[in-house]
Structure 1
Amino acid sequence: MSISRAARTLAGLAAVPTLLATSLALPARAADWTPPSVPAPVTIPQLPGITVPDVSKVIKTPGWLPNPVDAEQLADFALFKALSVFPQLSVSPLCTPWWAGRDGCKPSLGVGSTPVFDEEFDKPLSQSKDWVATTTSSYRYGNHNPDDSKLDWISPQAVQVADGVATFTARPGNRWLENGERAWTTGLLTTEGSPKGFMVRTGDYVEARVKLPTGLGAWPALWTWKDGGNEIDSFEYHPDNPAILELSNRVLPAYDYWSGLSAAGDDGWVTIGTKYGQNSVEWYVDGVRVYKDLKGVGPGWSAYLILNLSVSDGRYHPGPDGTGPIRFQADYVRVYR
């Protein structure tokens, strides 16, 4: 038999107190539970055609079970266990870490899912009507911002496009910030002020494929900005914490330090997506939902996109450990509506 999403959630929740408490040795009331520092023993049967992730890693991931408790994730886990008992039960899984690798586990983009922004970095930025690479209102002085623990001094020459990839390169510059720190020349792309002036809005899904840097001091990010705020961070990354992506909603504050990155695979490339939901913002890594904040952005939210490589001044994360260049790459940025 097959069941709808709503029925699946109800059925799963009914099974949660028994299945979850038994399999994870957790309290019957999920609200009483906090993630253990050491993974509890878990045994999940391998099912035909389903690739099951290492559950111990999922348990250690802060974002696997949001607070307040995400009923859908609990329901999915309970029904995942139930499949071993009732193999005739057929379900369409939600995109949670429990279902990583299952066919059909893709972000819920909504009705239509029409591409409305598609940057493949297949032409010079000088020909682009989508981006501005010289200034942003998110920086106090337009092209630099010593107030935010950054050494950045934006230069369009610091972003080069070749072979379908944008490469952001940060190097020590010959300018000094107002706080006395030496600036690093680096790259930033924003849709703010561009000929098209594209903005994401409530309900959109943005996705970028990026290659994360390894050098200390690097601070790449994909985020939004408008009118002094409206900020949603699809990700921020610091190589001193190589397994962590910082995911933040600064509109209705919520955040998660998702620690399942595992160095983004052997080649460093990772696909990161964000659904700007009215009532909940959702984050995806390589097609799997890793966090939903249950806060959202509200019905009338909109903002410009920013993709950039900042350089940390050492206050909260280590600064550069030398004068060599720091690089960050992006394969594409796409928005669906």
Structure 2
Amino acid sequence: MLTQVLDRIRRLLGRRTPAPTPTSTPASAPERDGAARASAPTPVFTADFGSTRQWVAGRSWAYPNGGPTNSGDNKLDYLVPDASFSRSGTFRATRRPDGKWNAGLLTTEGSEEGFMVRTGDVLESRVRLPVERGAWPAIWTWLDGDNEIDVFEYHPDNPDLLELSNHVKGASHYHRDPAVGPGRWVDLKVEFGSGSVVWWVNGKQVFADRRGVGRRWRAYLIVNLSVCAGRYHPAPDRAVSEMSYEVAYLRVIRP
């Protein structure tokens, strides 16, 4: 009898489900974070405004004959290659005796690297807006007389307004924002989409033009400080002899 009981216990023990084979343990939080960082898009262009390989100073074919003036666009600019007007990331303009203004401009057109933004690229920048009336800062694109997208334009006489424009497909938006104003820092982001160019200001999407740039669009970058001549916006006050705006960074991401 005892032998039968023992045999029954052995049979029951033999039917237990075997322990599961260990599988690989989930990645720890630091490993997951590291993987996310590794998969994040890397900028294809990070502006070094002091680099003569990336940028040409004081000349642009967006101006007649490459500059130095562009009075037809109601600008008082006289473009200068002087490094103190743009190479530090602070774009300056100073009054000249002839009524024009020496002004800073940088473009990737004609540079050794010749960088171009393309359809699908995302541009990010942080700028500090100018204070002086008549200042006309901008980040924009250009190629062969066209392909212009204005990442932003600003005029201190409209203190809370940024002008966002797609001149390729004819769309624009006046963005009013209490966080925008003379002397303030503004974060900008633009996606140059095939079917829609999309703008963000201070992390918030503010305009999607639903026009886009098309599948094969490309263009050079321009960063500059122009000076208004008075037709569209007031010219500088007579007492003002210098103005500036800052670009803390500018980068382009290609997803």
TM-score (norm 1): 0.60
CA distance in 1, matches of 2:167, 2:129: 23
CA distance in 2, matches of 1:217, 1:232: 22
CA change 1:260–1:239 in 2 (3 A) is same
Structure ranking higher in strand proportion: 2
Name the counterpart of 1:119. 47
**1:64-213 alignment runs, 5 A limit:** 113-121=41-49, 125=50, 127-142=51-66, 143-157=68-82, 158-162=84-88, 166-175=89-98, 182-213=99-130
Name the counterpart of 2:153. 236
Shift of 1:114: 3.0
- Paired residue secondary structure (1:147): helix
Name the counterpart of 1:77. none
Structure ranking higher in helix proportion: 1
Name the amino acid aligned to 1:116: V
Shift of 1:261: 4.6
| Equivalent pair of 2:140/2:150 in contact (CA under 8 Å) | yes
**1:15-26 alignment runs, 5 A limit:** none
CA distance in 2, matches of 1:259, 1:135: 32
Where does the alignment leave 5 or more consecutive residues of structure 2 unmatched? 1-38
Size of the alignment, in residue pairs? 213
| Residues 257-295 of structure 1: CA deviation (Å, up to 9, x unaligned) | 000153359x61111111000000000112211100000
Shift of 1:161: 4.4
| Residues 12-45 of structure 1: CA deviation (Å, up to 9, x unaligned) | xxxxxxxxxxxxxxxxxxxxxxxxxxxxxxxxxx
CA distance in 2, matches of 1:133, 1:222: 14
Shift of 1:120: 4.9
Name the counterpart of 2:214. 298
Shift of 1:112: 6.4
Consecutive aligned runs of 4 or more in structure 1 exceeding 4 Å deviation: none
CA distance in 1, matches of 2:47, 2:53: 11
CA distance in 2, matches of 1:133, 1:261: 33
CA distance in 2, matches of 1:134, 1:215: 22
CA distance in 2, matches of 1:287, 1:247: 15
CA change 1:245–1:261 in 2 (3 A) is farther
CA distance in 2, matches of 1:264, 1:321: 19
1:277 equivalent among 193, 211, 214: 193
Where does the alignment leave 5 or more consecutive residues of structure 1 unmatched? 1-110, 176-181
Q: Which has the larger radius of gyration?
A: 2
| Equivalent pair of 1:169/1:325 in contact (CA under 8 Å) | yes
Aligned pair 1:268/2:193, yes or no?
A: no
- The sequence identity of aligned pairs, in percent, is 49
TM-score (norm 2): 0.79
Name the amino acid aligned to 1:246: E
Instruction: Supply the RMSD in Å over aligned alpha carbons.
Output: 1.7
Shift of 1:160: 4.5
Name the counterpart of 1:324. 241
Name the counterpart of 2:36. none
Name the amino acid aligned to 1:318: P
Shift of 1:183: 1.2
- Paired residue secondary structure (1:169): strand
- Paired residue secondary structure (2:100): strand
